[in-house]
Amino acid sequence: MFSHIHSAIVLTAVALLASCSVGPPVKADRVMSQWYDGGVGEISISIDLSEQMATVERGGREIGWAYVATGIEGRGTPSGTYRITEKIVDKHSNRYGWIENEYGEVTDNDASPGDPLQPGERYMPAPMPYWMRLTNYGIGMHIGKIPQPGEPASHGCIRMPKEFVPTLFDQVKLGTPVKISY
């Protein structure tokens, strides 16, 4: 009988401690992408704006997928059919970035090249590693932060996970079709 009472007390204490924890529950790490192909052949990419997902196919067979972050409201990623027209490994934005002070502290995390600077500040263009251009007005796919998988977060570009993009970049070529839809 004592062991049943002791067990009940311990379980109650554990439940109380768990219910009183501070902050949100810890989530398991989410798989952000998968690539399961080493083949050859033509690749096509589909971006689903509703789901914030990219699907990569080779010859009509899915070979990979990734969460993406596309344009937020007011800076939406345009739907349509495009082709990759430029590939640059180490690209920086000529439209967006941030301003930092002389100590490297960010004073404006959503800046443009012409924004006014205070003494000691400098404009830093946003890096867009493994850039794959889709439009002539600056929309493309590249490595970028995906703060909340399934939610838009960019200025219009298609941000992709850093572990996924180098493989994709190596497999696509100029002219690879990319369909963006809801």
Domain ranges of the chain: 47-90+128-181
Neighbour count for residue 121 (Cβ, 10 Å): 17
pLDDT at 86: 98
Please tell me the distance from the alpha carbon of residue 53 to that of residue 46, in angstroms, as a whole number: 8
Please tell me the distance from the alpha carbon of residue 75 to that of residue 35, in angstroms, as a whole number: 29
pLDDT at 161: 98
Write out the two tokens for 6: 């002791």
pLDDT at 7: 38
pLDDT at 39: 85
The total number of residues shown for the chain amounts to: 182
Report yes or no: 96 and 125 within 8 Å, Cβ to Cβ. Answer: yes
Look up the CATH number of domain 47-90+128-181.
Answer: 2.40.440.10
pLDDT at 19: 33
Please tell me the distance from the alpha carbon of residue 160 to that of residue 141, in angstroms, as a whole number: 7
Positions in the chain whose pLDDT score sits under 70: 1-28
pLDDT at 31: 96
Write out the two tokens for 119: 């003494």
**Sign of the dihedral through C-alpha 110, 116, 118, 124:** positive
